[in-house]
Amino acid sequence: MTRPTIAITMGDPAGIGPEIIMKALAQPEVHALCRPLVIGDAGRLRQAGRVVGADTPVDALTEAGAADFTSGAVQCLDLACVPDGLPFGQVSPVAGEAAYRFIETAVQVVQAGLAQGICTAPLSKEALHAAGHKFPGHTELLAHLTGTPEVSMMLVSPKLRVIHVTTHIGLIDAIAKIEPGLVERVIARGHAVLVRAGIADPKIGVCAINPHAGENGLFGHGEEAEKITPAVEACRARGWDVRGPLPADTLFFLAGRGDYDMVVAMYHDQGHGPIKVLGLEAGVNITVGLPVIRTSVDHGTAFDIAGTGVADERSLVEALRQAVDLAPKQAA
């Protein structure tokens, strides 16, 4: 099997994306995994290379099909949209527009069959909005660009996989949005990803909304029985090993020791907290339900350290590894 081509979007050029890309692509193991094609700005990558002390040259390409993965240089589809002197660490509509264009182009590259997956460096939601692109984040933007009506966010670390029923909305709005059909669809998307990853009969635990899973109506207003239990029963009727709704604190402990292959979290912080306690350097964000494979680092733009060269590239390397594992396999 040949190595898949993975399109790496540079993220917000004022953040740490260019630096972690240059650090990651200086590692031979990354090139042994895949053929990395950066969608970004070649000048900014060269600047980041100087910042991090990576002397890898950068080839500026005008089309994705011209990439030479044997040259030893970073292959960059150069959109040339980052002005010289753009400061690191500052929110900018110029940077937000560039980040949008990187993602838009990556989708086009994959849809044209020139790459088998997308791996994204972090963007700034504030900069994206300042550029006029009103999306809460990568997940919703990619759904828009691919015409996908509904997707799910999955976070993966070496000890835990978490898929989210709701993400970037307030807690009150999240509880209102949760309903059995949505919960069942999220479980189904997660189940399909695990089966494709080689887990034939995954064990899935579903979080409750309220403490102690409502304690038989003592806490909350019957949300578990109304919103979650019907979905769990429907999935079990398909023959799947799905259990819940379970108290989230206990479920995450059990999943962390290996009793469950995936946890279904009801809202953003319920799922993100346990993953991030395990370490940002190992976390990977996967958008589930898109017609293209997309993985991402599980951290932000880190404007406070951008341009200093100290950013940790390990999450990006792991995200590339996950993209390769999920990408369509091609014969050599």
pLDDT digits (tens, 9 = 90+) for 45-93: 999 999 999 989 999 999 999 999 999 999 999 999 999 999 999 999 9
- Residue 197 has a pLDDT of 78
Q: Does the CA dihedral 29-35-39-40 come out positive or negative?
A: positive
The pTM (predicted TM-score) of the whole model is 0.84
| pLDDT category of residue 329 using cuts at 50, 70 and 90 | low
Q: What pLDDT does residue 138 have? A: 87
- Count Cβ atoms below 10 Å from residue 72 Cβ, excluding itself: 10
Tell me whether domains 5-151+290-326 and 159-273 share a fold. yes
In CATH, 5-151+290-326 is 3.20.19.10: no
Tokens found for residue 64 = 């994705």
Side-chain-side CA neighbours of 233 within 13 Å: the count stands at: 8
Query: What pLDDT, on the 0 to 100 scale, is given for residue 198?
Result: 80
In 79-201, beta strands by DSSP E: 117-120, 152-157, 160-164
Average pLDDT, the chain: 93
pLDDT band at 2 (very low <50, low <70, confident <90, very high): confident
Rounded mean pLDDT, 301-324: 94
State yes or no: pLDDT of 214 exceeds 90: no
Which pLDDT value is given to residue 282?
A: 64
Q: Measuring CA to CA, which residue among 141, 178, 187 is closest to residue 268?
A: 178
pLDDT greater than 80 at residue 107: yes
Give 304's Cβ-side CA count (13 Å radius).
2
CA distance 245 to 257: 19
> Mapping DSSP to helix (H, G, I), strand (E, B) and coil, where does residue 239 land?
coil
Task: State which H helix or E strand residue 285 sits in.
Answer: strand 284-288
Q: Would you say residue 296 has pLDDT above 50? A: yes
| Per-domain boundaries in the chain | 5-151+290-326, 159-273
User: Of the given ranges (143-147, 225-229, 243-247, 324-328), which has the lowest mean pLDDT?
Assistant: 324-328
Range with the lowest mean pLDDT among 11-25, 196-210, 276-290? 276-290
* pLDDT tens-place string over residues 235-264: 999 999 999 999 999 999 999 999 999 999
Average of per-residue pLDDT across 308-323: 93
Tell me the percentage of the chain whose pLDDT exceeds 70: 97
Q: Which CATH superfamily is domain 159-273 in?
A: Isopropylmalate Dehydrogenase (3.40.718.10)
Q: What is the pLDDT of residue 331?
A: 41
35 with 3: CB under 8 angstroms?
yes
